[in-house]
Amino acid sequence: MTTRMDDRSVAQRVLDHIANRTTDVGQSVWREPVANYRSEARLVAEIEKVLKRSPTPFCPSAALPEAGSYVAREAAGTPLVVVRGTDGKVRAFRNACRHRGMQVAGGSGCSKAFVCRYHGWTYNLEGRLRHIPHEDGFPGFDKEAHPLVPVTAREHLGLVFVTQSESLPGDESLDQLDELIGPDQRVFATAERDFEVNWKILLESFIEGYHIKSTHPESFLPYGFDNLNVIDLFGRNSRVTYPFQRIKKLAKIPPQKRRVEGLLTYVYQLFPNVLITVLSRHTNVVILEPLAIDRTRQITYTLTNGGGGDDPAALAEARRDAEFVGTTGAAEDRAVVQAIQRGLGSGANEAFTFGKFESAIVHFHQTLTAALERS
């Protein structure tokens, strides 16, 4: 499949599952060797052959609202800085001064230029080297030949995608999507947190609903369903739909008038390591950066839905929604994935078995394995 289902088709699929006490099921079972979560060589291959070669969301476009807005962090182990230029275009650079390699930016902010705080070498927003203090000490040095080193950046779907090296063979499935982050959505919170867990174990926890009853019996289950999901697989990517009990009211509404906002959660997995969760009052862009075989940095951008950023009441609702999700379900999932990580070394399993209720995870591992084999 190359496209996702539209909202009305998703609603009808959910209502049919409720009536028939069914759920979407995959076509195959996948056994992923436990060694693939523990191997240093495997992680290096995932970073070098997949993460660096895949167009990967670096941040939402809303994180760069004006000329000079920038975000600097490591992606796939490489320090990068992404900035919106005076022409409105987004550019990405390797975050290293061309003098001695000092990073020229840190965190996020807004600036008219990047000034290396080691010796003051200065670059404009297009990455060109514009000033060297005491330039006479560098006879014959060509500033024009020493800009910040660019990497490929593209704005698409309300996100900034970065590709660090020669891209993997094309996947046009994202070109078929509407915007995932709209122009009226605003970033109202950002967070970084390190977890002592392999990046794939953390990712897997987002994209299956088979665990809802066991893991979230008091937080999510009373509002949702046990093991009832709609799964879209498109290109390398997937989307899992988590319906709420209140979606049942759509059964009394003509199909052409049905709207799903506030009645379900969409979780997109954009290959390889980014998740977008569209909830009732807010949206999260979640980026999982592997730091080691047993350590992952999670960067989360939290945005309003619709124009809530300009409406104090709507922004307050978005904050409450985000706080509930972050302090209940997310905490429960973190406890589980950390326990899985500790269990990797027990010797109990040679492989993890992902069944037909976990088809988005199966799709992820099939896609990752294929990408590694083609590289």
Residues present in the chain in total: 375
Nearest to 215 by CA among 324, 46, 358, 334: 334
Q: What is the pLDDT of residues 58-95, one digit of tens each?
A: 999 999 999 999 999 999 999 999 999 999 999 999 99
Domain with CATH 2.102.10.10 in the chain: 55-167
Amino acid symbol at 119? H
Nearest to 209 by CA among 235, 185, 197, 227: 227
Q: Given this model, what pLDDT does residue 164 score?
A: 96
Average pLDDT over residues 158-164: 97
Average pLDDT, the chain: 94
Q: What does CATH list as the number for 1-54+168-375?
A: 3.90.380.10
Q: pLDDT grade, residue 262 (50/70/90)? A: very high
Ranking 87-96, 115-124, 327-336 by mean pLDDT, the lowest is 327-336
**Structural fold of domain 55-167:** Rieske Iron-sulfur Protein (2.102.10)
Which has the higher per-residue pLDDT, 284 or 308? 284
Share of the chain above pLDDT 70, in %: 98
CA distance 61 to 85: 13
Token pair for residue 7? 């909202």
Q: pLDDT grade, residue 39 (50/70/90)? A: very high
Using an 8 Å Cβ cutoff, are 89 and 154 in contact? no
N- to C-terminal Cα distance for the chain? 23
Ranking 59-63, 198-202, 280-284, 295-299 by mean pLDDT, the lowest is 280-284
Q: What is the pLDDT of residues 193-205, one digit of tens each?
A: 999 999 999 999 9
Q: Given this model, what pLDDT does residue 56 score?
A: 95
The pTM score is 0.95
Domain with CATH 3.90.380.10 in the chain: 1-54+168-375
Average pLDDT over residues 315-336: 84
pLDDT exceeds cutoff 90 at 311: no
Token pair for residue 353? 């078995």
Q: pLDDT grade, residue 21 (50/70/90)? A: very high
pLDDT exceeds cutoff 70 at 250: yes
Q: Given this model, what pLDDT does residue 167 score?
A: 76
pLDDT exceeds cutoff 80 at 351: yes
- The β-bridge partners of 352 are 32
Q: Given this model, what pLDDT does residue 166 score?
A: 82
Q: Given this model, what pLDDT does residue 314 score?
A: 81
Q: pLDDT grade, residue 307 (50/70/90)? A: low
Q: pLDDT grade, residue 308 (50/70/90)? A: low
pLDDT exceeds cutoff 60 at 8: yes
Q: Given this model, what pLDDT does residue 233 score?
A: 96
Q: Given this model, what pLDDT does residue 318 score?
A: 86
- Is the Cα torsion angle 211, 287, 365, 343 positive or negative in sign? negative
Contacts 24+ apart (CB under 8 A), 217-224: 219/328, 219/329, 219/332, 220/328, 220/329
Contacts of 373 (CB under 8 A, 6+ apart): none
Ranking 37-41, 167-171, 270-274, 301-305 by mean pLDDT, the lowest is 167-171
pLDDT exceeds cutoff 60 at 1: no
pLDDT exceeds cutoff 90 at 260: yes
Query: Counting beta carbons within 10 angstroms of the beta carbon of residue 253, is it exposed (0 to 12), middle (13 to 18) or buried (19 or more)?
Result: exposed
CA distance 303 to 186: 5
Q: What is the pLDDT of residues 163-176, one digit of tens each?
A: 999 877 767 888 87
pLDDT exceeds cutoff 80 at 144: yes
Q: What are φ and ψ of residue 189, in 5° steps?
A: -160, 145
